């Protein structure tokens, strides 16, 4: 199954073709809000310059995509995302299925980023959270020099 995203290893731009959405390092929060106005986006609150959002959408007919985005002082700082079959829930979660998703996410990143994780624009990695039982792709954008 093909990955529902494309990431440019030179610029760090991240496209989600099914959502007609492109995210970029340091993207302004206002630009993100405008670009996701038609999507299922939740404002998860702010404190001390940090602002969080989530986006959940059906993609490719039989899959769902979830994103968690973190802005710092109005600029995209970090995002995590994952996808799965639309009928997957915590009720039918298994460790074996999560391990399969980890492998799929690693292969998707490796194929697009040539097996590298660190770039001038930031870092891309697959992270398994043993507390939540979930795995996501995380993009941590470098902050521009001040």
Token couple for 59: 């993609």
74: in domain? yes
What three-state secondary structure class fits 28? strand
90: in domain? yes
Kindly report the pTM of this predicted structure. Answer: 0.90
89: in domain? yes
Give every CB contact of residue 42 below 8 A, 6+ residues apart in sequence: 53, 54, 55, 56
85: in domain? yes
Count of structural domains, the chain:
1
Give me the chain's average pLDDT, please: 90
pLDDT bin (cut points 50, 70, 90) of residue 145 is: very low
Q: Which domain holds residue 110?
A: 6-141
What's the CA gap between 123 and 2, in Å, rounded? Answer: 22
What's the CA gap between 66 and 82, in Å, rounded? Answer: 6
Please, what is the Cα angle at 135 between 141 and 77, to 5 degrees? Answer: 15
132: in domain? yes
pLDDT one-digit tens code per residue, 83-131 = 887 777 777 777 788 788 889 999 999 999 999 999 999 999 999 877 7
1: in domain? no
What's the CA gap between 79 and 1, in Å, rounded? Answer: 22
């Amino acid at each position: 199954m093909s990955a529902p995203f494309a990431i440019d290893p030179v610029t760090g731009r991240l496209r989600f073709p099914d959502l007609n959405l492109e995210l970029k390092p340091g993207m302004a929060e206002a630009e993100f809000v405008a670009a996701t106005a038609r999507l299922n986006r939740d404002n998860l609150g702010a404190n001390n310059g940090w602002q969080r959002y989530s986006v959940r959408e059906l993609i490719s007919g039989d899959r769902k995509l979830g994103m968690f985005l973190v802005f710092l002082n109005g600029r995209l700082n970090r995002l995590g995302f994952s996808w799965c079959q639309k009928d997957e829930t915590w009720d039918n979660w298994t460790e074996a299925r999560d391990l399969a998703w980890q492998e799929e996410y690693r292969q998707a990143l490796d194929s697009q980023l040539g097996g590298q994780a660190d770039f001038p624009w930031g870092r891309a990695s697959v992270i398994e959270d043993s507390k939540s039982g979930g795995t996501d792709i995380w993009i941590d954008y470098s902050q521009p020099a001040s």
